[in-house]
Structure 1
Amino acid sequence: MKALLNALHIAAAALLLLVTPAHAGALTSLGNKLTTAMSDLPRYEKLPLFDPHRKDFTCVYEAQQVPPLDPQAEMWFQQALAMDDPNVPIDRIDYAKMYQLYLQAADRNHWKAMLNLASLILSKRPGVPEQDPEAAIQWVEKAIKLGIPDAYDRMGVYHLNRLVKGGDATSAYALFQRAADMGSPAAMAFLGDKLSGTYDDPRGEFWGNLPIASKMLECALAQGYGPAADKLSYIYRGTTSESKSRALHVLHEGVKLGCAECADNLSTEFNGFGLTRGENLVGHIDKARAQRYSKIGDVLKLYGGRLKLPNLDKVLPLPPAPLPKWDGNVQTLINGAKAVTPTPKAQQGAALQGREFIPLGHAVSPLEQSTIAVAGNQIVPRDGYWLALYGPASAAKTQLIPARRNTPERYQVGERFEASSLDWLAADHVQWHYLGEAYALPPQRDDFLRHMINTGFLREVPEPASPVLCNGRQRCPQTGIWEGRVASDHPMAVLYNRWDRQAFVEKDHAFPHPGGQFIDIATGDLQWTYLGSPNGDTGMPGILNILL
């Protein structure tokens, strides 16, 4: 027996020896597969190394690269964004609901929602149901798969902060470079700042490549990215009156785009910083302007670039324009400077009743999509809306004639269709075409305008009595707020036709040139629409009141 046990032990040992190499091979194979699978993840995409001494940079606009957004997803995104209200204490914000809204939008491929969802996951805010960093990384990866430039920038941040395993500055800067080349304004602003040195830092913190830095920052600013203006002003400021004026104007433009740092810098300049050394951008002290920039900057800090003030010149124009009188309330400055809109059209109530009633914000499918038609003497076969028509059976749907009031009517299974309103038309000659149940319409433009008014990003103004339109080459015929647009089929329409593309323009002055915002559009391609809201007369020559 002992011999048998020894034999079995030896056999088992031999079996283990035989199995071990095979098992080791399987582990090696599995390890290789896992390594390959990990390297295939977007977070580990192989990219060219960052080149701080590159000789060229082509400005690409993110808005022209990203997929269109689903309207309902955009509304959910805006609703979630509005919940992050700086005026509401953190412990009173429903982060669980915010997460859910972002999630709904992200599930419809809303890339901004994906990135905000990732930030919310990492924020550790109370009530956020998902707090695993891996989930945040995966949402950014999903956006990368959609080809979103800003997603590459975000992944670069994750590499730089080593949130991604194996990430470091080398991989991060490669991602930033890819993001900038694809059109990410955030990546352009970051790299533009890093390349704006006058020499290469031995520690690799910055590099001297001003031509490329300028191009990147100007491209970011053209896309409405306010922080780029602050960085660009340091490149522009120089020592000549022309360079200082250029820096001053770019900072002012940055404030319009929501840049708090720009407002703070202008407050410092108007308070006389560097005046005795000849470094001041203004050349004199202006305490009144300094105060207004300071107050505006304090508000902009709360919104992180979300609050836009395109009509800043209504409340705080650059010199030599005189300052309008101000009541001292900072909200007057903000409301006067923010974008405006005429009162959105109220949704029409459902005027039809009975079977013809369709709920507000709903519609039924058009006749062309109907695939079911039954004679009027039959029992209703399906719940939903039906349209009564008549005509030859061979006639196209568009050639059929209304047999009742030419409006869809809702019936339930088992009911009988109503008789034709034409006494001579027999029921069996009426064709009832099925249009389906009423469905909710996606949010419309006026829905978004109402939302932005309610959340304080737009100010409502009365619609002008009669429309006033001007070509961009003309002089302004009337002081007030104007909205600029290019034709919808213009190649730059998606970039230029933003909700905040407005300006407060004085009568007989030129309309803003797109080149001042680094956008290559001929002035003749622009159409400006008057929205009103001029300032009020004080009775003193040249002095006006800020009038909302």
Structure 2
Amino acid sequence: MQKTNSILDNLTFECKHEVRPSIDKEVHSLYDYALYHDLHNMWRGKKGDEVWQNMAVYYRIAAYNGDYQANLRLQWLLETKRVVVKKPQTEVYHLNKELEKTLPATAMYKLYYHLDSNYGVKTTSGGKFAYLRKAADMGSREAQFAVGEILERIDDKATFAFRTALVEQFLSCASQQGMGEASKSLGIGFELDKRYQEAIQVYHQGVKAGNKLSALTLADGFRITNSKQLDYLGGYVDLERSTRYQMIYDYLSTYYFLKITVPDLDEIVPLPPAKLPPWDGKIAFQRWFEGPSPQKPSDELMQKLAEKAGLDWQTGLPMKK
């Protein structure tokens, strides 16, 4: 036990946010076009179908021109076998090496994620947690959340108070960076401690990040007055706020598979005491998703960007030498 306490006593964390660089608009137009068709294929699409195979080309060219959003989305499509290639592990490995140039902390987290999946990286038994901690220290929100969850699950009463404070640091840092799951977990802790104002603020942040349970908690919290009920958040009643959070929850819950975020939340339901502005009942993502497809990038643009990255413009893969 003394050894365990000593390890924990030396465990400190300094919150660092990963800098997300701006993405060239011309490059990002490839991502926008591909994402629209990719997401519209999510419900009925078949793995390896024409839509995903074609959209992979746009994602590849954008990714190798510095678009980290395209890179991450393509990695996910390859990992879930929606985009089918002969050697997905090899392509994901090279994409992650490219990701290191723009989001090194996230790339480090992805290495941790891939260690058990035969994706080109290996370590000794238990060594993967060194990757996770390094990613957290570098600023990966996913890693910060994961470390916080691991610390929270440790069954050790002697270090409970210390770990609780440390968990809050990790989750707060991840929440501030838009990690919805971290916001939800942090909010639950604040609720239990009766820190209701902090809970409301962090759940609101969770809704921005697309966490549906944060939206449901706020929908309940702004109508519940009984302190013994679940999701009581101080008894401040505002039925219109409750309704708006409920509508957002309903949309996030129905279309959970689209990985939606709500960056326009403050324009819909700002935190009190701000007054509620007029609202047409739709979030910005919904308008985009229900609207027309972004303009298809021209062949000339595809060729220009592919040549710049040394890729075949029709496949997005490296030119054969």
TM-score (norm 1): 0.43
1:185 to 122, 141, 164: 141
Residue 162 of structure 1 contacts residue 168 of structure 1 at CA under 8 Å; is this kept in 2? Answer: no
Query: CA offsets per residue over residues 269-318 of structure 1, 9 Å max, x none?
Result: 34539732697213266555434322202323536554323343x44344
Distance in 2, Cα, partners of 1:78 & 1:263: 26
Letter in 2 for 1:244: Y
Q: 2:199 matched to 1:251? A: no
Matched, 1:332 2:281: yes
- The correspondence for 2:213, drawn from 261, 273, 296, is 261
1:156 to 88, 99, 112: 112
Q: CA deviation at 1:186?
A: 1.7
Alignment of 1:48-447 (within 5 A): 54-63=10-19, 69-86=23-40, 89-91=43-45, 94-125=51-82, 128-130=84-86, 132-144=88-100, 148-160=104-116, 170-196=126-152, 200-201=154-155, 209-240=163-194, 243-270=195-222, 272=224, 275-276=227-228, 280-283=232-235, 288-301=240-253, 302=255, 306-312=260-266, 314-319=267-272, 332-335=281-284
Partners of 1:83 and 1:93 within 8 A in 2? no
Tell me, in whole angstroms, the C-alpha distance in 1 between the residues paired with 2:50 and 2:260: 18
Structure 1 alignment gaps of length 5 or more: 1-50, 340-361, 363-439, 442-548
How far off its partner does 1:247 sit?
0.8
Provide structure 2 residue ranges, at least 5 long, that are not aligned to the other structure: 1-6, 289-299, 306-321
CA spacing shift, 1:109–1:315, aligned 2, 3 Å: closer
Q: What amino acid is the match of 2:188?
A: Y
User: In the TM superposition, what whole-angstrom CA distance separates every residue of 1:76-102 from its partner, at most 9, and x where no partner exists?
Assistant: 233322333258643387112210011
Contact 2:215 2:248 in 1 (8 A): yes
* Residue matched to 2:291: none
| Cα 1:171/1:55, change in 2 over 3 Å | closer
Counterparts in 2 of 1:183 and 1:273: CA distance versus 1, 3 Å: farther
Change over 3 Å in CA distance of 1:116–1:52 after alignment to 2: farther
Q: Please tell me whether Structure 1 or Structure 2 has the larger radius of gyration of its CA atoms.
A: 1
- Normalised by the length of structure 2, the TM-score is 0.68
Show the counterpart of 1:501: none
1:57 is displaced (CA, Å) by: 1.7
**1:71 shift after superposition:** 4.5
Shift of the 53–216 alpha-carbon distance from structure 1 to 2, 3 Å rule, reads same
Aligned length: 279
- Quote how far apart the aligned CAs of 1:233 are: 1.3
Identity across aligned pairs (percent)?
Answer: 26
Aligned to 2:233, the other structure's residue is in SS state coil
Letter in 1 for 2:13: F
- Structure with more of its chain in helix, by fraction: 2
Q: For residues 184 and 283 of structure 1, what CA distance do their matches in structure 2 show?
A: 35
Indicate if the aligned counterparts of 2:262 and 2:284 stay in contact, CA closer than 8 A: no
Aligned to 1:392: none
- Seen in structure 2, the aligned counterparts of structure 1 residues 239 and 142 have a Cα distance that, compared at 3 Å, is closer
1:338 is displaced (CA, Å) by 9.1
1:278/1:115 CA distance change after superposition, 3 Å: closer
Alpha-carbon distance, 1:70 to partner? 4.7
Counterpart CA distance in 2 for 1:333 and 1:146 is 33
* Amino acid in the other structure paired with 1:250: V
8 Å CA contact 2:96, 2:110 repeated in 1: yes
Q: CA deviation at 1:150?
A: 0.5
Task: Name the CA distance, whole Å, in 2 between partners of 1:112 and 1:52.
Answer: 36
Distance 1:207 1:157 in 2: 29
Query: What is the CA-CA distance between 1:154 and the residue it aligns to?
Result: 1.5
1:270 and 1:284 in contact (8 A); partners too: yes
Contact residue 89 and residue 120 of structure 2 kept, 8 A: no
Letter of the 1:294 counterpart = Q
SS at match of 1:105: helix
- AA partner of residue 74 (structure 1): H
| Higher relative strand content | 1
Larger displacement relative to structure 2 (180-189 or 299-308)? 299-308
Answer whether contact 1:275 1:284 (CA < 8 A) is retained. Answer: no
Contact 1:196-1:207 at 8 Å conserved across structures: no
Partner of 2:295: none
* 2:228 aligned counterpart, secondary structure: coil
Question: Residue 236 of structure 1: CA displacement?
Answer: 2.5
Counterpart-to-counterpart distance in 1, 2:117 and 2:129? 12
Give distance in 2, aligned partners of 1:218 and 1:260. Answer: 18
Partner residue in 1 for 2:315: none
**Structure 1 residues 327-379: Cα deviation after superposition (integer angstroms, max 9, x where no partner):** xxxx624259999xxxxxxxxxxxxxxxxxxxxxx9xxxxxxxxxxxxxxxxx
Distance (Å, rounded) in 2 between the aligned partners of 1:161 and 1:227? 23
Higher RCO structure (Cα 8 Å, ≥6 apart): 2
